[in-house]
C-alpha cells in the first residue's frame, strides 16, 4: 500500500468542492490505489459548513480517504502538502468580467504563495482555480521564490473540455475522438480556443466544420461559456469546474496520451513568442509529473492575432498587480 499524500484545498466548503472532494476521495484525481489526506481550508465563517462536508465524507467510508483536517488558517492547512488546490476566492456575478476580481482576490494569492513557499512539501504541485486564475497564479508563484515556477499552474482545462464537448455535439463525434484542441492565453473572454491543429477521428477538425461557424460562433461560445452558465444558473460552474480540476491534476501527475495534448496555464518561458513570465495557457504534454509545451505548431496570422490579444490582456493584468510581485532574482526564478 502506498503512503498517503497530502492535498490542501481552499474554498473547501464552496460549490466546486462539493463535487471535487468526493471525486478526490474515490481516487479519480491521482490513482485508484493512492490514499489521501485532505487538509481542508476555509474562512472562519464557513467552518460550520465545512464540518458538515467532513461528516459527509466520513459517512461515505471511502477506503482511500486516510484522514481529514479542517483549517481556518492557510498557513496551517498547507503544511507538508504535496498538492495545493486554490479554489477559495470571491466569484464573479452576472454581468461581471473575471478581471474585475483582481483587486479583491489577488492579494490573498500572493499571501498564499508565501505560505506555500514556507510550509508545503518541496515538490508541491499548485493549481489555481479562483479567478482571475492566471494572474492569481502569477502572484502566488512570484511570492514563492524557493519553488520553481513550474510548480504553479492555473486552470484552463475547463475551457479545453468545453471546446471538446461543444465541438463533439456540433459534429456528432464522441469527445474521446476529438484531439489536439488548444486553449491559448487567459481564462477570460480573450482566450483563444484554437481548432487549427485539432483532429476528429484523426482528420483535421477544420475540414469537418464550417470556417464561419468556427470564427463567428465557436470561439465566442467558449470564451463566454462561464458567463453563460452564470446567467442561466445564477451562479458559476461547479461540477464542470470540479471535473476539470480532476482532469488537470490527473494528467499532470500521471501523464497525457501520446497522441493528444491538454491545455494548462503555466508560467511562459517565451515559447511561441509569448512574453516571458506571464501565466499563459499553452498546449502541453505531461510525463513523469512534469509538463512540456508542445513545440513546433504552425501559427496562422489569424491565430497569432488572437494569441497576441489575450497576451496583451495578461500583460495589463500583470501591471495591475505589480505591487504584489517581488522582483525576480537570479537565484530564484
Ligand atoms: C468558469 O469559467 O465557469 C469559471 O471561471 C467561473 C466564471 O466566473 O466564469
35-56 confidence digits (pLDDT tens) = 999 999 999 999 999 999 999 9
Q: CA–CA separation, 33 vs 84, rounded Å? A: 20
The pick from 87, 95, 131 for probing ligand 1's pocket by mutation, whose C-beta has the most ligand atoms within 8 angstroms, reads 131
12 labeled binding residue: yes
Closest ligand 1 atom to the C-alpha of 155?
Answer: 5
CA of 46 to the centre of ligand 1 (A): 21
CA-nearest residue for atom 4, ligand 1, is 226
CA-nearest residue for atom 2, ligand 1, is 226
Please calculate the CA angle 147-152-155 and round it to the nearest 5 degrees: 175
* Complex ipTM: 0.97
Helix (H) or strand (E) holding 113: helix 102-119
Q: CA–CA separation, 213 vs 18, rounded Å? A: 36
98 labeled binding residue: yes
What class does CATH assign to 157-318?
A: alpha beta
> Cβ(84)–Cβ(222) under 8 Å?
no
Q: Angle formed by the axes of helices 133-142 and 102-119, to 10°?
A: 40
Place of cell 479545453: 160
* pLDDT at residue 171 in the model: 98
> Cβ(10)–Cβ(42) under 8 Å?
yes
Place of cell 484522514: 67
CA of 75 to the centre of ligand 1 (A): 27
25 labeled binding residue: no
CA-nearest residue for atom 8, ligand 1, is 92
CA of 235 to the centre of ligand 1 (A): 9
Phi, psi of 17 (to 5 degrees): -65, -25
CA of 243 to the centre of ligand 1 (A): 13
Ligand 1 site, residue 240, Cβ cutoff 6 A: no
Q: CA–CA separation, 275 vs 187, rounded Å? A: 17
Numbered ranges of CATH 3.90.110.10 in the chain? 157-318
Nearest to 85 by CA among 164, 32, 6: 6
Which one of the listed residues 187, 197, 248, 250 is annotated catalytic?
A: 187
Task: Provide the phi-psi class of 270: left if phi over 0, else alpha when psi is between -120 and 50, else beta.
Answer: left
> Please, is 275 exposed, middle or buried when counting C-beta atoms within 10 Å of its C-beta (0-12, 13-18, 19+)?
middle
The counts of H helices and E strands in the chain are 11, 14
In Å, how far are 4, 166, 185, 272 from 296, measured between CA atoms? 39, 27, 17, 9
Q: Angle formed by the axes of helices 157-171 and 225-233, to 10°?
A: 90
Flag residues of the chain having pLDDT under 70.
328-333
229 labeled binding residue: no
Numbered ranges of CATH 3.40.50.720 in the chain? 5-154
Ligand 1 site, residue 140, Cβ cutoff 6 A: no
- Grid cell for residue 106: 489577488
Nearest to 167 by CA among 159, 139, 9: 159
104 labeled binding residue: no
Ligand 1 site, residue 238, Cβ cutoff 6 A: no
The pick from 236, 244, 245 for probing ligand 1's pocket by mutation, whose C-beta has the most ligand atoms within 8 angstroms, reads 236
Ligand 1 site, residue 236, Cβ cutoff 6 A: yes
Tell me which long-range contacts 97-100 makes (C-beta under 8 A, separation of at least 24): 97/188, 97/189, 98/131, 98/132, 98/133, 98/187, 98/188, 98/226, 99/132, 99/135, 99/188, 99/313, 99/317
CA-nearest residue for atom 5, ligand 1, is 226
Ligand 1 site, residue 237, Cβ cutoff 6 A: yes
187 included as an active-site residue: yes
The CATH homologous superfamily for domain 5-154 is NAD(P)-binding Rossmann-like Domain (3.40.50.720)
Place of cell 489526506: 37
164 labeled binding residue: no
Amino acid at each position: 500500500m502506498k503512503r498517503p499524500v497530502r492535498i490542501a484545498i481552499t474554498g473547501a466548503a464552496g460549490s466546486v468542492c462539493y463535487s471535487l472532494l468526493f471525486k478526490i476521495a474515490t481516487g479519480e484525481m491521482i490513482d485508484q490505489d493512492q490514499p489521501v489526506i485532505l487538509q481542508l481550508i476555509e474562512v472562519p465563517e464557513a467552518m460550520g459548513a465545512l464540518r458538515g462536508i467532513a461528516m459527509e465524507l466520513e459517512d461515505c467510508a471511502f477506503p482511500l480517504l486516510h484522514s481529514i483536517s479542517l483549517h481556518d488558517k492557510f498557513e496551517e492547512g498547507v503544511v507538508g502538502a504535496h498538492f495545493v488546490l486554490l479554489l477559495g476566492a470571491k466569484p464573479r456575478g452576472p454581468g461581471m468580467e473575471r478581471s474585475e476580481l483582481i483587486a479583491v482576490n489577488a492579494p490573498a494569492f500572493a499571501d498564499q504563495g508565501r505560505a506555500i513557499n514556507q510550509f508545503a512539501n518541496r515538490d508541491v504541485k499548485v493549481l489555481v482555480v479562483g479567478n482571475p486564475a492566471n494572474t492569481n497564479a502569477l502572484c502566488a508563484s512570484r511570492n514563492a521564490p524557493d519553488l520553481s515556477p513550474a510548480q504553479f499552474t492555473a486552470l484552463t482545462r475547463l475551457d479545453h473540455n468545453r471546446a471538446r464537448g461543444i465541438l463533439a455535439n456540433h459534429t456528432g463525434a464522441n469527445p474521446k475522438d476529438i484531439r489536439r484542441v488548444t486553449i491559448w492565453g487567459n481564462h477570460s473572454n480573450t482566450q483563444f480556443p484554437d481548432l487549427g491543429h485539432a483532429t476528429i477521428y484523426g482528420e483535421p477538425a477544420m475540414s469537418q466544420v464550417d470556417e464561419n461557424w468556427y470564427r463567428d460562433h465557436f470561439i465566442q461560445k467558449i470564451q463566454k461559456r462561464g458567463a453563460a452558465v452564470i446567467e442561466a444558473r445564477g451562479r458559476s460552474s461547479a461540477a464542470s469546474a470540479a471535473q476539470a480540476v480532476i482532469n488537470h491534476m490527473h494528467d499532470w501527475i500521471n501523464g497525457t496520451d501520446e497522441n493528444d495534448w491538454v491545455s494548462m496555464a503555466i508560467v511562459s518561458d517565451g515559447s511561441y513568442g509569448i512574453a516571458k513570465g506571464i501565466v499563459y495557457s499553452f498546449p502541453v504534454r505531461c510525463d513523469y509529473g512534469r509538463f512540456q509545451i508542445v513545440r513546433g505548431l504552425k501559427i496562422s496570422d489569424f491565430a497569432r492575432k488572437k494569441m497576441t490579444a489575450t497576451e496583451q490582456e495578461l500583460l495589463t493584468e500583470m501591471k495591475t498587480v505589480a505591487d504584489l510581485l517581488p522582483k525576480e532574482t537570479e537565484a530564484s526564478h
